[in-house]
Amino acid sequence: MMTEARKTIAPMSECIGLKAAAEYAQVDERTMRRWHKNHGLGFKRIGGPNARLMFSITELNAYLAGDGEALMHLRNGDYEHEALAVYRRITGIVL
């Protein structure tokens, strides 16, 4: 279970909603919610109790690859770190 607050810094242009993220990762939406709760993936957009759960494609690719180093850089706000470049290239994200 996640014990500390984590944040992901990524441009909103590369973020997708819960349903799209589940389809992208080829898992159930419940799995995405569990990954959010237990592993700190994704974030809730501002909007009160009905806020949408969103996921960074770069973060999702790094998580699916099991790349803890890339996730650490992303969560520390170092979005341009070379460890993340491979995951941005996968989806064609250009800085």
Q: Given this model, what pLDDT does residue 17 score?
A: 93
Q: Given a cut of 50, is residue 3 above it in pLDDT?
A: no
Q: Given this model, what pLDDT does residue 66 score?
A: 96
pTM of the model: 0.81
Q: Count other Cβ atoms within 10 Å, centred on residue 49.
A: 5
Side chain identity at residue 71, one-letter code? L
CATH architecture classification, 12-90: Orthogonal Bundle (1.10)
Q: What is the pLDDT of residues 10-29, one digit of tens each?
A: 777 888 999 999 999 999 99
Q: Given a cut of 50, is residue 1 above it in pLDDT?
A: no
